[in-house]
Structure 1
Amino acid sequence: MTATEAGLGAQRQSLSFLWLYALAAAGGAVAYVPFLTVLLPERVTGFAGSSGVAVLAYTAFAGAIAASFANIGFGWLSDRTGLRRPWIFGGVVLSGFLLVAMARVDSLVDLIPMIIAWQLALNMMLGPLAAWAGDVVPDAQKGLLGGLLSLAPALGALSGALVTWPGLASPDARLTLVALIVAAMVLPVLIFGHPRPMPSLMEEAPPVQDPLLVERAPVARMWLARLLVQVAEAALFAFLLFWFRSIDRNVTDNDTAAVFSIVLCVSVPLALAAGRWSDRNNRPVLPLTIGAGLGSLGLLAMATAQTLLTAIGSYILFGLATSVFLALHSSQTLRVLPRPRTRGRDLGFFNLTNTVPSLIMPWLTLALVPVFGFDALFLLLAALAAAACLILLSMRRI
């Protein structure tokens, strides 16, 4: 190995750490996906009966607000202490304990405060975990990191199917099973992950003549582009089954789950390929731009779909494009944050692009679809995705 090659190798993070980190990030998804999508609705329905949908909406709203503040707060605390691992470990233990303890909750009065406490503990893990990647993964590998992060939603969805497998575990035991799976996925990176130090990633950006324009403009554009795409993704996640049934009444929830599974599984190799390409060619924003553009085209196709086959095909185009976009965006965001000392806090503000759409879109969809139909909704979402594409096109090459 030459001195040059050795120098280049020192600037790259070990693949073993990247895979362990990706496993931990997927564990973060497993921590909330099966609970919020399957286990919590079951418990709320058991408590509230026919009014369970309304109760679930209010519970989800309160939890999302708590998650938003907690992600910012614990990210900031990990910045201030200069430590990520202790916060991640504490979040794993505390969120797991609270999840298991929910088996003992027997009323809505107790459930909602427990959900809020669990969200706080969960984001004690998620906030510092996201910031840790920014501390140790160099820009030359952020595309690969984004591709690996695409495993998170896929494994999150598969975990929901696993813990609800008939005969595997009782409703209460499912909560314990989720907590154990999360610990098994997150703890290895804390125990065995020894990332190479990257001092250059902890250095403040050099002073520039106009920091507001040069440093913050990419951050604002990346934030807004993700928000616009997330709005479209949140709307489709909640109402895809209803749209399929508006075209073909014979569509079942299992059919919709199968389409979701196809999108999640196929998006992983696509995201890995796109991420590796962006690393090799030093074009981190181009795959994001293409993803937003293809997502807009998929929504336009959905607005004009007349048969179930075309509806499924157009959704798959949208789903693959936005899944790759969101995975790569999560890693490339780390590239544009200008202040390493506030990386955790700043990523918490980026996390609002995940929580805010889920609070807004269900109500907007319910107001729009009954009057104008799904076609109007998809045209609106296509415009938002197209706007995200144009925003990214306007960014200088970074």
Structure 2
Amino acid sequence: MTDDPSPAASDPLPALVASNAATPLPRLIGAMMTSIMGAYIALLTPLQLLLTLQLTRISGDGAAASFSVVTGIGALLALVANPLGGRISDRTAARFGRRRTWILTGALSGSLVLATMSFTTQVWQVALIWCVVQTLLNFQQAATSALLSDQVPPDRRGSVSGLLGLATALGPLIGLAAVSLLQNAALQWSIAATGGLLGGVISVLLLRDPQHPRASGEPRLGLAELAKSFWLNPARHPAFGWAWAIRFLITCAYASSTYNAFFLLDRFKVGSARVGGIVLLLSLLSVGLLAITSAVMGFVSDRLHRQKPFVIASGFLAAGGLVLMATAPSVAVVFVATAVSGVATGLFFAVDSAMCVRVLPSSANAGKDLAVINMANTLPQSIVPFIAPALLAVGGFGALYLFLAALGVIGGLFVLRLPEIGREGDPRFALITKPKAVTTAVSSH
């Protein structure tokens, strides 16, 4: 399978950023933030609380195992949907716009399906609905992510990356705050679905997205082209491969937050009536620190023209928070560990998206390539739930958290292989694209 060959330097698309067709930057930031907040209200509110409560009602003591199965399968569907959504969005020629079309379609259909979750009475029904929701909302997320490459000027990508990290944090916080005020399951799921719907609708109202007609000679989007959605050769594009691994490992480290409710129920015997309130407080603390750190450090990164120190600090701080969580003797220490993890996640979100865009081989395929990068977000949602039961059986939550801490440290160190801003092409670091071997004919005399 071949890669997309054209280097970023030769792409015509960055000219869109300076043209009248581009969305004014404040509106563009608003559009991207509302789309992301809506998607994360619809996805992370269930992951952090509502799925735990729904599965506890359905399967009682078997809820933790059911949660792992449901979220693991859902994440596998998201793993497939995100790259497909990115590739299809790159090639969409609708007058409504290639990104707007899928932001609206994903948000509208995904939210409507999510609203039916309260009617489930069997685990398989929960799994089915969750898989459909993950698929649809990942089409929305893939289209939204591509806007960072499409329309954000390179010298503002760190700032925008930090604000998108803020939106990622605010989404589940808003969702948790809203559903925690209610006890009725149908209303809780409806609130999460409404948040997702509003985020998508507001986003497309703010966004300018000119029609992107199919280029002359561009192959039709058949099965062969769709198959390329899942691959970009890391041997040919090594910086991309390292960025993917960094995001995957650090995302594994902070994927532990989806187990907060089970951790409180298991270690500290917190009752079902109180666990939602404590999870909300933990999320408020984490998101508050994440939001401040992400927004501020995104601007700092742009000013310093540095990204790598933020990633290294993020990996080590994430590990420190997980070690604290693993050894926590009280709920108070859980709050301290959550604060450390919030700062760590904020540092990572401040630069991660900007760093990934910087190592893309081609902005013409930004939707597809960023979706491949986004697989590093999605895989941990599948892998962590699948390995968690074995780790919990061996050493409880301590074993789970310490294992994830080690992954965070490795992810932070991997960034040393990437070039810093302005050093792309330096042979001491991974190259964006390796040149193809050129054979020189030598004539004999």
TM-score, length of structure 1 as denominator length: 0.81
Judging changes above 3 Å, is the alpha-carbon distance between structure 1 residues 227 and 190 closer, same or farther for their aligned structure 2 residues? Answer: same
Q: Matched residues in 2 for 1:300 and 1:37: separation?
A: 21
Q: Is the 8 A contact 2:100 2:207 kept in 1?
A: no
Partner in structure 1 of residue 142 of structure 2: 127
The amino acid that maps onto 1:153 is A
Q: Which residue of 1 aligns with 2:104?
A: 89
Deviation, structure 1 residue 268:
0.7
The verdict on how the C-alpha distance between 1:214 and 1:44 changes in structure 2, with shifts beyond 3 A counting, is closer
More off after superposition, 346-355 vs 104-113: 104-113
Q: TM-score, normalised by structure 2?
A: 0.73
Supply the distance in 1 between the matched residues of 2:282 and 2:320 (Cα, whole angstroms): 18
1:165 aligns to what?
181
Among 109, 130, 152, the alignment partner of 1:115 is 130
Match of 1:222 in 2: 243
- Of 369, 372, 389 in structure 2, the residue corresponding to residue 349 of structure 1 is 372
2:416 and 2:361 map into 1 onto residues whose CA distance is: 20
Say whether residues 1:68 and 2:79 are aligned partners. Answer: yes
Instruction: Give unmatched runs, 5+ long, in structure 1.
Output: 1-6, 198-210
1:276-306 Cα offsets, whole Å, 9 max, x none, are 0111222133322222233334445556666
Task: Establish whether residue 174 from structure 1 lines up as the match of residue 188 from structure 2.
Answer: yes
Pairing of 1:129-168 with structure 2 (within 5 A): 129-149=144-164, 150-166=166-182
Match of 1:183 among 173, 176, 197: 197
For 2:168, give the aligned amino acid.
A
Q: Which moved more, 1:56-65 or 1:67-76?
A: 56-65
- Give 1:304-323 correspondences, 5 Å limit: 312-323=335-346
2:357 counterpart residue number: 334
Q: Does the CA contact (< 8 Å) of 1:238 and 1:362 recur in 2?
A: no
Aligned to 1:390: 413
In structure 2, the partner of 1:204 is: none
Structure-2 residue corresponding to 1:235: 256
More helix by share: 1
Aligned 1:173-322 pairs, distance under 5 A: 173-194=187-208, 216-239=237-260, 242=263, 246=267, 253=275, 254-300=277-323, 312-322=335-345
1:189 and 1:95, CA in 2 relative to 1: closer, same or farther beyond 3 A?
A: same
* Cα separation, 1, equivalents of 2:285 and 2:357: 29
Unaligned regions of 5+ residues in structure 2, if any? 1-14, 212-231, 422-445
CA apart distance, 1:369:
4.7
User: Residue 191 of structure 1 aligns to which amino acid in structure 2?
Assistant: L
Q: Is the 8 A contact 1:59 1:112 kept in 2?
A: yes
SS of residue in 2 equivalent to 1:81:
coil
- 1:221 corresponds to which letter in structure 2? W
Cα distance in 2 for partners of 1:363, 1:86 equals 34
Indicate the larger mover: 145-154 or 22-31.
Answer: 145-154
